Copies of this chain bind each other. A is one copy, B any other.
Amino acid sequence: MGNILSGKEVAEALKQKLKAEADELREKGVVPTLSIIIVGDRADSAAYIKGAVKRCGEIGIECSVTELPQDLSQNEFLEVIHRQNADEKIHGIMIMRPLPSQISENVVKYEISPAKDVDCFSPVNVSKVMSGEEGGFAPCTPSAVMEILHHYGIDPKGKKAVIVGRSMVVGRPLAMMLLKENATITVCHTRTANLAEETRRADILIAAAGKARMIKKDMVREGTCVIDVGINFDENGKMCGDVDFDEVSSAAGMITPVPGGVGAVTSTVLAKHVIQACKRG
């Protein structure tokens, strides 16, 4: 079996570092603060928020959760954003998506302050991820992948990184982030002609397609570093990744499990972004 890349271990190490930084800020009288905005009731969002609030609390970040009614108008929503943009006590703002249909994400994304946009909703931050410019915020999930690579000393430079999936929350930004660190990147997707041929070439294989256990053993070359971004539930309701862990783990050189892999790091990356926003403040 390949070496397990433990997201829990990465998150724990990062947490200790952030805790020290939060303590330092608090000693100066600054309380790093994250605002989470949610419109309507969504069970998946509620679970995510619970995890984020817990993690932020452990680190010393204050969280304020703004719960807004499902039928809120776009203008009322924008007023909340503008108020929080202007509020000096709030350093990071996270808007839970999807938003209800009367509120257009294509309008809202231009209104959130890029300096407080800790999960890369603003086009300003998207543009910085693409150009590799410092001082922005990448989305939390691909950032969590990079944290895992860095923690375990896996340098993407000169390596073939093959990414399965091209979403704006994982595949595309991660491709740009790996490119910045000098990987040769390949992005595959549902239209890729021979997926197994592509994935077998990978030194670092990122599964971010959102399809339960789609990466099988014959798609992975011996010794590859496999990072599984998927969070799916199988027919028995059991959480699983995009990688068929039981099969693939014997071939992979290194592999992240699900749960306990990438997903275990994202809320700590969110906290990292809040601390960064607070320091840049």
Q: Which chain B residues lie closer than 8 Å to A124 at the CB level?
A: 110, 123, 127
User: When the two chains form their complex, are residues A185 and B187 in contact, meaning their CB atoms are under 8 A apart?
Assistant: yes
A166 to B158, CA, bound (A): 14
Interface residue tally for chain A (C-beta within 8 Å): 32
A124 to chain B, nearest CB (A): 5
Nearest chain-B residue to A133 (Cβ)? B106
Q: Nearest-CB distance from A224 to chain B (Å)?
A: 15
Taken together, the copies of this chain in the complex come to: 2
A contacts with B: majority SS:
mixed
Say yes or no for A176: interface residue by CB 8 A criterion: yes
CA distance A123 to B123 in the complex (A): 7
- Cβ contact within 8 Å between B191 and A158: yes
Cβ of A34 under 8 Å from chain B: no
**Cα separation A147 to B162 with both chains bound (whole Å):** 28
**Can you list 18 residue pairs at the A/B interface with Cβ under 8 Å?**
A110-B124, A123-B123, A123-B126, A123-B127, A126-B130, A127-B130, A129-B130, A130-B130, A130-B168, A131-B172, A158-B191, A166-B179, A172-B179, A175-B187, A179-B189, A184-B186, A184-B188, A184-B191
